[in-house]
A and B are shown apart, each in its own frame.
Chain A
């Protein structure tokens, strides 16, 4: 079975721009969670989608948004980029539900904001 894939792997953007990151979950997984990883704050939860619905959201500003498609693929968008948004963005997929807590991570997208 193929693992979680994320595209692109690397991005360089300028302050004020917007960016869209993509995540393809493991086949059969319906839940996708997004995390931001930085040296200072560690791994922080952004949001989770299941069957195209956002079920949970972390403590991030409204500039961070996401969506999920009918094939479970997910995208996250960051608008009006700030220098502090530079981070590794990780998505994780799981079956969802009480029998599918295990989250499997992709390799991440390294975003640099200049």
Chain B
């Protein structure tokens, strides 16, 4: 069935280091892959996304890569800052499954000053 695996579940880095979170999806019909950041007491915030016809997308310190053949996609955060500390979720969407995002289990990122 539909599934998204996300690793690691927790990640601790020093301020200024890079952080990488990886996800694998099972549904080959998935064509849209968003990433969300959720802070305590708030709803998930869309931070970057990528469609299946693109291999990489970058927005300032954040980048996402997609390998359709391997069904892998990753979030890269460079020059991490304490305010990057949050829970990050990857998700996959298939246009045949309208309105439904399949989420990974989440990664708790801690950036130490």
Across the interface, name the chain A residue whose C-beta is closest to B44.
A105
- What are the residues of chain B within 8 A of A33 when measuring CB–CB? 99-101
Complex: A98 Cα to B93 Cα, angstroms = 11
Count how many chain B residues have C-beta atoms less than 8 Å from C-beta atoms of the other chain: 25
Q: Interface digits, A65-107 against B, CB 8 Å rule (1 contact, 0 not)? A: 0000000000000000000000000101010101001111111
* Residues in chain A near residue B95, CB distance under 8 A: 98, 101
Q: Is there an interface contact between B43 and A56, defined as CB atoms closer than 8 Å?
A: no
A40, chain B: closest CB distance, angstroms: 10
Jot down 19 A-B pairs with beta carbons below 8 A, ordered by A.
Answer: A4-B43, A35-B101, A42-B106, A43-B91, A43-B101, A43-B103, A45-B100, A45-B101, A47-B99, A50-B98, A56-B98, A90-B43, A90-B44, A94-B99, A101-B32, A101-B51, A102-B34, A106-B43, A107-B43
